[in-house]
């Protein structure tokens, strides 16, 4: 494992960081465990003051935080600023609502008294991805710190400057040493951390294979885990959809963050009546994207996060075509410096094609035409993933019915799948388990402890 900032716009190595040795890792674990014993006893008000200050710092210095996102993984600078703002909103959300979410729940037993208290687990370990370098951290750290846990995070190897900046943020906001710890560690050390008895819970956002390793290790140690994995979200267009507005959302759903979103629209499932017109408009809109420097606010299309990500995507397209898929547009690397890929649409993808099952993490859209609503739902459900999805129709009642029929963790009507602090986020099937954000996200790593008061004279 290496921690290295490489600008995917030009391939320039910006900075390299050394991994922690085992002695340094042990010191970090010890510090976190010691910190928990104090942090768990702090009031919600004191924790909220730290969180609120962290959010305020991010808002006051948006460009300072946004810049390394763009330089390390190529996100358009406007989108990077948006991510900083969203991360601040998440931190603020839990600062304001954590105490209410975790308030004691008074039960009504047949006799005596009973209450369920929410108490923190302890030291938590998170393994986080590169595609939203702060947002992923905020949605893990904010609820758990507010719940009284402390967190340790192994971030992706290609965004070390973002990882370090987020750790410094919490220290500047007044969090004690050990409340939030960034770990520049190897894959072997990840297993050491999961095995360590001081770690009480594990959260991962990433791919299926990584999740199998981390979840398996956590399970072997009888530790609670949450897994937020990939998706192959269906974007269903029914025959009564507003075509122009739907196409605009389709473009955003596919191209936001250069398509590198777990909940990006990946399978465009369009009823036959609109299929040709949708595809024509969609293709024209994608063709208008111009690659350029993501630091330039005029640029509309940035590079993929790394050269390895580009190579993998190109290989997926090549294998899809070899098995009968048709390239409607794109499919190749853009002939210029940097890790750029052409916006791509594939169609004629049959169930035996590997593309039918895989997640395409980038500017590649899979296009399917179906005869009717029932076929659209059946195709949407014929997936190993179940993270998000959307349906477009002028009939809201119909949209809700379709949403209820799709097997997925999140379903949006007339809007692509997206995220806000107050909406639960998570999936089913190979998209993982557990929920983040909203009131549900803070409940994952707290002990629901029953305190029962009964009469001493109660019968045995």
pLDDT tens-place string over residues 319-333 = 999 999 999 999 999
Helical spans, DSSP H, in 408-456: 438-441
Length of the chain: 460
Q: Is 450 in a helix, a strand, or coil?
A: strand
Residue 171 buriedness (CB in 10 A; 0-12 / 13-18 / 19+): middle
pLDDT confidence bin for 269, thresholds 50/70/90 = very high
Mean pLDDT of the region 18-28: 98
DSSP state string for 329-383: E--SB-SSSSS-B--EEEE---TTSGGGTS---SSEEEEEEESSHHHHHHHHHSS
Residue ranges of the alpha helices (H) in 114-242?
135-146, 160-172, 187-195, 208-220
**In the structure encoding, which two tokens stand for residue 146, read together?**
């507010």
Residue 459 pLDDT grade (very low, low, confident, very high; cuts 50, 70, 90): confident
- What does the DSSP 8-state code read for residue 19? P
Structural tokens at position 82: 């948006």
Cα–Cα distance between 354 and 357 in angstroms, integer?
6
- Give the CA radius of gyration of the chain: 23
Arithmetic mean of pLDDT, 274-287:
98
* Strands (DSSP E) found in 206-301: 224-228, 233-237, 265-271
Query: CA of 17: how far to CAs of 20, 158, 184, 244, in Å?
Result: 9, 10, 8, 47
pLDDT above 90 as % of the chain: 98
Question: Above 80 in pLDDT, residue 16?
Answer: yes
Angle at alpha carbon of residue 217, lines to 213 and 221, rounded to 5°: 170
16 contacts: CB under 8 Å, gap ≥ 6:
2, 3, 4, 5
Confidence of residue 288 (pLDDT cuts 50, 70, 90): very high
Q: Which helix (H) or strand (E) holds 29?
A: helix 22-39
- 233-413 is classed CATH 1.10.645.10: no
Question: Assign residue 74 a region: left if phi > 0, alpha if psi is -120 to 50, beta otherwise?
Answer: left
With residue 238 as reference, give the H or E element that holds it: none
Q: Fold match between 3-229+431-451 and 233-413?
A: no
Out of 158, 162, 261, 262, pick the active-site residue.
Answer: 262
Q: What is the mean pLDDT of residues 130-154?
A: 98
d(CA 96, CA 146): 10
Domains of the chain, by residue range, sit at 3-229+431-451, 233-413
> Is 80 exceeded by the pLDDT of residue 306?
yes
CA distance 291 to 150: 41
pLDDT of residue 125: 99
Q: Which of the four pLDDT bands, split at 50, 70 and 90, describes residue 228?
A: very high
Read off the pLDDT band of 109 (50, 70, 90).
very high
Query: Which of 22, 25, 55, 43 lies closest to 125 in space, CA to CA?
Result: 25
Q: Write the pLDDT tens digit of every residue in 413-450.
A: 999 999 999 999 999 999 999 999 999 999 999 999 99
Quick check: 246 pLDDT over 70? yes
What is the SS3 string spanning 42-104?
CCHHHHHHHHHHHHHHHHHCHHHHHHHHHHHHCCCHHHHHHHHHHHHHHHHHHHHHHHHHCCC
Stretch 25-37: mean pLDDT: 98
Angle at 240 between CA 235 and CA 242, to 5 degrees: 70
pLDDT on residue 458: 72
72 classed as catalytic? no
Q: What is the dotted CATH code of the domain comprising 3-229+431-451?
A: 3.40.605.10
- 261 tagged catalytic: no
Distances in Å between the alpha carbon of 279 and those of 10, 176, 213, 271? 32, 54, 39, 11
Mean pLDDT of the 30-57 span: 98
When the pLDDT of each residue in the chain is averaged and rounded to a whole number, the result is 98
3-state secondary structure of 39: helix
For residue 460, pLDDT beyond 90: no
Query: How buried is residue 456: exposed, middle or buried, by Cβ count under 10 Å (0-12/13-18/19+)?
Result: exposed
List of long-range contacts for 63-69, beta carbons under 8 Å, 24+ apart: 65/134, 65/165, 65/169, 67/295, 68/5, 68/133, 68/159, 68/161, 68/162, 68/165, 69/133, 69/134, 69/159, 69/162
Residue 184: helix, strand or coil by DSSP? coil
pLDDT computed for residue 450 by the predictor: 98
Token digits of residue 221: 């140690």
Q: Which of 228, 359, 436, 444 is catalytic?
A: 228
């Amino acid at each position: 494992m290496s921690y290295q900032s490489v600008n995917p716009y030009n391939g320039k190595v910006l900075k390299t960081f050394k991994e922690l040795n085992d002695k340094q890792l042990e010191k970090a674990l010890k510090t976190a465990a010691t910190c928990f014993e104090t942090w768990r006893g702090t009031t919600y008000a004191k924790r909220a003051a730290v969180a609120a200050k962290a959010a305020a710092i991010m808002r006051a210095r948006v460009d300072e935080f946004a810049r390394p996102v763009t330089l390390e993984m190529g996100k358009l600078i406007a989108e990077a600023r948006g991510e900083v703002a969203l991360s601040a909103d998440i931190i603020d959300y839990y600062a304001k609502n954590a105490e209410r979410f975790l308030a004691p729940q008074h039960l009504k037993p047949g006799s005596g008294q009973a209450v369920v208290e929410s108490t923190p687990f302890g030291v938590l370990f998170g393994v986080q991805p590169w595609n939203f370098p702060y947002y992923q951290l905020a949605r893990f750290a904010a609820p758990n710190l507010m719940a009284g846990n402390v967190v340790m995070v192994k971030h992706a190897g290609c965004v070390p400057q973002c990882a370090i900046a987020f750790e410094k943020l919490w220290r500047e906001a007044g969090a004690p040493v050990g409340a939030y710890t960034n770990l520049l560690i190897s894959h072997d050390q990840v297993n050491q951390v999961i095995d360590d008895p001081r770690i009480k819970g594990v959260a991962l956002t990433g791919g299926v294979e990584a999740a199998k390793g981390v979840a398996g290790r956590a399970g072997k140690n009888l530790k609670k885990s949450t897994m937020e994995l990939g998706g192959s979200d269906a974007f269903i267009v029914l025959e009564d959809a507003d075509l122009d507005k739907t196409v605009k959302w389709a473009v955003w759903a596919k191209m936001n963050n250069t398509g590198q979103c777990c909940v990006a629209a990946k399978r465009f499932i369009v009823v036959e009546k609109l299929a040709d017109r949708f595809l024509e408009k969609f293709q024209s809109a994608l063709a208008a994207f111009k690659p350029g420097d993501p630091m330039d606010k005029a640029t509309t299309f940035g590079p993929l996060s790394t050269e390895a990500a580009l190579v993998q995507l190109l290989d997926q397209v090549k294998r899809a075509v070899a098995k009968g898929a048709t390239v409607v547009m794109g499919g190749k690397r853009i002939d210029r410096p940097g890790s750029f890929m052409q916006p791509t649409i594939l169609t004629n993808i049959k169930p035996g094609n590997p593309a039918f099952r895989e997640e395409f993490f980038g500017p590649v859209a899979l296009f399917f035409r179906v005869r009717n609503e029932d076929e659209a739902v059946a195709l949407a459900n014929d997936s190993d993933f179940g993270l998000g999805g959307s349906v477009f129709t002028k009939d809201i009642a119909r949209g809700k019915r379709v949403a209820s029929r799709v097997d997925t963790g999140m379903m949006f009507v007339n809007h692509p799948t997206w995220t806000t602090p107050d909406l639960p986020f998570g999936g089913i099937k190979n998209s993982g388990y557990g929920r983040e954000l909203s009131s549900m996200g803070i409940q994952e790593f707290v002990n629901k402890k029953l305190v029962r008061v009964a009469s001493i004279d109660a019968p045995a």
